[in-house]
Structure 1
Amino acid sequence: MTETTHVARGRIVLTGAAGSLARDIIPYLRDRGYEVLCLDQAEPADPMGCEWVIASIQDRDRLREAFAGCAAVVHLAGIPLEASWEEIARTNIDGTESVLEAARAVGVPKAVLASSIHAAGFTPVPHRGETLPDDVPARPNTFYGVSKAAVEALGSLYADRHGMDVVCLRIASRFSTPQNERMLSTWLSPADAGRLFDAALSNAAGGFRIVWGVSRNTRSYFSREGGRSIGFHPEDDAEAYAHDLPADAAGAAQGSEWDQRCIGGVFCSPEPPMFSRQA
């Protein structure tokens, strides 16, 4: 088993800290003893007991100031669904480069990057009994998926060229409970999201790696090897909610068809869910 050591229960900085994923994991990380510095463009009504830096991830000077002295950066900031290429490239790709470069400039040794199942979304759903390795090749299903493949590529570059310890987490379906039949395979519970990021921060092996972000689902078709290698041991199983899903939980016919064909589900369809700033 890989030895793990927590990041000295030290100070970490988390971008996109006002988002929903951050709200899942910040309390967990604080309970584990991390001092979390939150960075976002606006502070939420509940600061969760953390110090906040209000800044854009494009503001490199502010990033360097915020990152100085931190043991790790957890990068969550970005557009979370499909959008125009201009928006996706500026925020998700250029923004990640900005974060990694600021971390490198001030000597932050570790980065945990939020990737997505959609980086490999057009990968066919495997046959029963087969599993997909954590580093299955990128087959993005949207501009959003392309941006997450680019996040992984940037992480690999900064690990190999600059010696940074980088873990990319291919997060699947993170919801409070499974919403449809596909999520009985792809669900990541809020509690397991906390365990996932804690494990990624705790792992001391170094280098670059990609890890699936999925709970311990009975119907999962994702390898657990990458998770085990960083000490991620999910505890929740979507199967506990299977009987609570309505009979038509797979969604519209189009959604059901794509859910059965590709791991990225309806995001692989001609009309993937779009990001709305009003949502």
Structure 2
Amino acid sequence: MLPKPASPLRFSRLLLTGAAGYLGREMRPRLKAYCEVLRLSDRNDLGSAAEGEEVQITSLENKDQVTTLLQGVNAVVHLGGISTEQPWDTILAGNILGMVNLYEAARLQGVKRIVFASSNHVTGFYRQDEVVNTRMPPKPDGFYGLSKAFGEDVAQMYWDRWSIETVSIRIGSSTPEPKDRRMLATWLSFDDLERLVVAALTAPIVGHSIIYGMSDNQTTWWDNTHAKHIGYRPLDSSDVFRPTVEARQQSIDKNDPAAIYQGGAFVKATPHG
């Protein structure tokens, strides 16, 4: 975990949505160091509020709940919503309606900075032998990636019309360590995720910026040249895990769509049911 920041980087009240999720649980103690009060929301149980925390159970598809949630907030780290390929109705509620509700609440409550957990699956149907920059057209690999592409468009519209700034982070694979060869390119350490979120919260001017969330990996499919103004500098790398990963996965089926496309197994996931 990073050292506690100096006081100029602190917020009075920071909101973390999706705080009961996988990355939300990891970011909860980390983000508390950057604010006087950390407001936590999720539709699932968040446990008791610790010192300096506020807990609000919220369904993103409930407009009134979300409007109340953003009252008195300086900035939002939006990890809430659905994070895997799911049936359309589930995606629609959490990632489409929920995204519009969040930005409408931000507009009504005067919140001017959002860090949005987008996803590399926005461009999941680019091939693994291509390098993608943040200005290339989306190629979503399923309903999940499609919903995140929509979320980026929502962020752009609210910047253009109402001057709400957003950094959309196309998160790669944020895990304790890479699990397979694909993750050698997509891996994002928890410490680097924290660095990226803090940079996105504190960069002076971002408008609507898109950045891929990855560590300093030797192998990469993503070019963040157009996001250098955010000031993110990854300090970790998947390469320390490379010998172990390659020994565990000694061969790749080059006819497998999961090995052809950047989205990996998501390009084969069944969204219906």
Normalised by the size of structure 1, how large is the TM-score? 0.87
Q: Deviations over 1:25-83 (max 9, x none)?
A: 22222223453100112333475652101121122222222212211122111111111
The alignment partner of 2:222 has SS state of coil
The alignment yields a C-alpha RMSD, in angstroms, of: 2.5
Query: Is contact 1:182–1:250 with CA below 8 Å preserved after alignment?
Result: no
Query: Is contact 1:82–1:275 with CA below 8 Å preserved after alignment?
Result: no
Q: Is the aligned partner of 1:77 residue 2:80?
A: yes
The alignment partner of 2:169 has SS state of strand
* Structure 1 residue aligned with 2:114: 111
Task: Return the offset for 1:6.
Answer: 6.1
* Structure 2 residue aligned with 1:54: 57
Query: Is contact 1:74–1:111 with CA below 8 Å preserved after alignment?
Result: yes
- Paired with 2:108 and 2:45, the residues of 1 have a C-alpha distance of 26
Q: 1:13 to 1:32 in 2, by over 3 A?
A: closer
Q: 1:209 to 1:180 in 2, by over 3 A?
A: same
Query: Is contact 2:86–2:143 with CA below 8 Å preserved after alignment?
Result: yes
- Paired with 2:203 and 2:126, the residues of 1 have a C-alpha distance of 28
Question: Which stretches in structure 2 are left out of the alignment for 5+ residues?
Answer: 1-6
Task: Return the offset for 1:260.
Answer: 3.6
- Paired with 1:108 and 1:275, the residues of 2 have a C-alpha distance of 36
Q: 1:251 to 1:175 in 2, by over 3 A?
A: farther
Task: Return the offset for 1:122.
Answer: 0.4
- Which residue among 17, 20, 29 is the counterpart of 1:18? 20
* Structure 2 residue aligned with 1:36: 38
Higher RCO, Cα 8 Å, sep 6+? 1
- Paired with 1:211 and 1:228, the residues of 2 have a C-alpha distance of 9
Number of residues paired by the alignment? Answer: 266
- Paired with 2:112 and 2:22, the residues of 1 have a C-alpha distance of 26
Query: Is contact 2:40–2:56 with CA below 8 Å preserved after alignment?
Result: yes
- Paired with 1:67 and 1:30, the residues of 2 have a C-alpha distance of 17
Query: Is contact 2:155–2:166 with CA below 8 Å preserved after alignment?
Result: yes
